[in-house]
């Protein structure tokens, strides 16, 4: 009987952890969906213009997620830490772009224009993929922020 109660208790605690993870994922997904539905879909048929518009849309989506992250963090984080947290979120985007710029545009055989001006005009599919990767990182931070708010720390 003691074994049965012990096994039942273990099962219930594991089930509660899975439910908590589902709640965090569900909340994060709900926030993502809310941000996504408020941004118009791109209907551009020209590929280059479509990439440009998709990049802009991804940036707006990420800004919305970042705003929600800050909003949630204000509920549990020290006030003096929120500015640092927001600065870190911005640096994440800057560092990701800087790495992309260095790897793609700042090679020895390219002229200086490729490294200084060209990355900011980038309309490639690679740029869109970079934007999507940064948004995915922001989504993970959203999940971690929701979890931290609930008292768990699974970083």
85-134 residue pLDDT tens: 999 999 999 999 999 999 988 887 767 777 888 888 888 889 999 999 99
What is the structure's pLDDT at 11? Answer: 47
Tell me whether residue 155 is in a domain. Answer: no
As for how many domains the chain has, the answer is 1
67 domain residue, yes or no: yes
For 152, counting Cβ atoms within 10 Å of its Cβ (0-12 exposed, 13-18 middle, 19+ buried), the class is middle
What 3-state class would DSSP assign to 74?
A: coil
Does any domain span residue 33? yes
- Domain assignment present for residue 112? The answer is yes
Condensed to tens digits (0 to 9), the pLDDT of residues 7-28 reads: 445 444 444 444 456 788 889 9
The pTM for the full model equals 0.78
Residue 109 within a domain: yes
Residue 56: give the domain boundaries.
2-149
Instruction: Over range 26-38, report the average pLDDT.
Output: 94
């Amino acid at each position: 009987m003691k074994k049965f109660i012990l096994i039942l208790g273990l099962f219930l605690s594991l089930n509660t952890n899975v439910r908590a993870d589902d709640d965090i994922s569900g909340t994060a997904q709900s926030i993502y969906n809310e941000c996504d539905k408020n941004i118009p879909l791109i209907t551009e048929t020209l590929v280059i213009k479509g990439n440009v518009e998709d990049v802009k849309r991804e940036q707006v989506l990420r800004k919305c997620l970042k705003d929600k992250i800050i909003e949630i963090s204000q509920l549990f984080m020290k006030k003096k830490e929120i500015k640092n947290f927001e600065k870190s979120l911005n640096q994440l985007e800057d560092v990701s772009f800087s790495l992309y710029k260095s790897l793609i545009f700042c090679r020895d055989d390219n002229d200086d224009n490729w490294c200084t001006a060209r990355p900011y005009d980038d309309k490639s599919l690679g740029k869109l993929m970079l934007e999507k990767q940064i948004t995915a990182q922001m989504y993970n931070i959203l999940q971690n922020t929701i979890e931290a708010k609930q008292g768990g720390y699974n970083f």
